[in-house]
């Protein structure tokens, strides 16, 4: 039962009906209970079980604890940054093979807890399956290549957290190009006047860059930096950000040229 949907009085009435039908003691089984809900049930003498710590069966006995499982609500409208990174790992590297969470955590330089949270979101979105294998948990994508991308497209987030214009610096030479610059390398789109590169939000190089106002500092040699919610270098190839992240970053552009070239680029990918 879901205690958020039924009040304790309604549960009491249901209990009486159930007990009358089966002619034997009846108890409710809950997956989650908080202390207030637990105490309300006990006060009205309503038998219940909530494993592993809460058991109240007046006709047999009781075992109550002050440890309560916290109910976690998993967002299913869009991916978190860590879930998107894990999804890209399946898309570009794991394919259709089964992987354990430890393997993904090591490959992506994430904690196993972060991978677990990310996998729960992808599981809720029906993009992966999970099964226990001994003490490990195996994950597997429900599809591969373009089919997997199409299933996930509506859940993808724009990886760009913010953008800034900075003085051109040799410090940026090893970072992948992004935005219109990246798309221009894979399409007929002309390169933008100001080159674009992508940097992860936690990168220490950001504190070494000199921001400028391109509207006032006319003629200065500048670069536009996209600060990403995850490391854009993880799946970059040929010095450009990965195709799916690029598409997600440009999806909101109102420029029809960009959308047209982006569509052609994705259509021509060898998934």
Task: Give the angle subtended at the CA of 212 by the CAs of 215 and 252, to the nearest 5°.
Answer: 70
CA angle 27, 30, 32 (to 5 degrees): 150
For residue 170, give every residue at least 6 positions away whose Cβ sits within 8 Å of its Cβ, in sequence order, or none. none
Q: What was the pLDDT predicted at 14?
A: 80
Q: Tell me: the pLDDT tens digits for 125-151?
A: 999 999 988 888 899 999 999 999 999
Q: Identify the segments of the chain with pLDDT beneath 50.
A: 1-5
- What token pair was written down for 6? 């039924």
What whole-number distance in Å separates Cα of residue 230 and Cα of residue 104? 15
Sheet with strand 196-200: strands edge to edge: 160-167, 222-228, 196-200
Residue found by looking up tokens 């999806």 in the block: 251
What does the pLDDT look like over 161-200, one tens digit per residue? 999 999 999 999 999 999 999 999 999 999 999 999 999 9
CA-angle at 200, arms to 198 and 206, nearest 5°: 85
147-152-155 Cα angle (round to 5): 165
pLDDT in the model for residue 4: 47
Q: Which residue has the tokens 């680029």?
A: 265
Number of Cβ within 10 Å of residue 242's Cβ equals 21
Residues with Cβ within 8 Å of 212's Cβ and at least 6 positions away in sequence, in order, are: 165, 166, 167, 220, 222
Cβ-defined contacts of 134-140 (< 8 Å, 24+): 136/100, 136/101, 136/102, 137/100, 137/101, 138/98, 138/99, 138/100, 139/90, 139/98, 139/99, 139/100, 139/101, 139/104, 140/96, 140/97, 140/98, 140/99
- 223 φ, ψ (degrees, to nearest 5): -135, 140
Q: Contact 138/99 with Cβ under 8 angstroms?
A: yes
**pTM of the complete model:** 0.74
Do residues 84 and 91 make contact, with C-beta atoms less than 8 angstroms apart? Answer: no
């Amino acid at each position: 039962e879901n205690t958020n949907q039924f009040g304790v009085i309604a549960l009491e009435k249901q209990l009486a009906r159930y007990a009358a039908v089966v002619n034997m003691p009846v108890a409710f089984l809950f997956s989650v209970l908080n202390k207030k809900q637990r105490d309300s049930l006990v006060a009205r003498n309503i038998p219940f079980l909530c494993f592993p710590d809460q058991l109240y069966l007046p006709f047999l006995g009781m075992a109550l604890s002050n440890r309560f499982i916290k109910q976690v609500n998993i967002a299913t409208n869009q991916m978190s940054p860590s879930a998107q990174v894990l999804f890209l790992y399946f898309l570009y590297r794991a394919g259709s093979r089964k992987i354990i969470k430890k393997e993904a955590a090591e490959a992506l330089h994430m904690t196993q807890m972060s991978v677990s949270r990310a996998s729960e979101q992808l599981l809720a979105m029906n993009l992966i399956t999970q099964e226990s294998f001994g003490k490990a948990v195996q994950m597997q994508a429900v599809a591969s290549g373009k089919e997997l991308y199409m299933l996930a497209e509506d859940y993808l987030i724009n990886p760009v957290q913010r953008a800034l214009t900075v003085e051109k610096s040799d410090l940026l030479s090893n970072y992948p190009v992004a935005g219109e610059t990246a798309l221009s390398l894979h399409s007929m789109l002309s390169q933008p006047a100001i080159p674009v590169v992508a940097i992860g939000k936690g990168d220490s190089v950001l504190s070494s860059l000199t921001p400028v106002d391109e509207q006032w500092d006319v003629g200065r040699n500048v670069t536009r930096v996209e600060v990403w919610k995850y490391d854009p270098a993880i799946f970059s190839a040929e010095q450009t950000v990965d195709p799916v992240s690029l598409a997600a970053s440009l999806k909101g552009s109102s420029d029809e040229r960009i959308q047209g070239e982006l569509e052609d680029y994705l259509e021509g990918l060898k998934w």
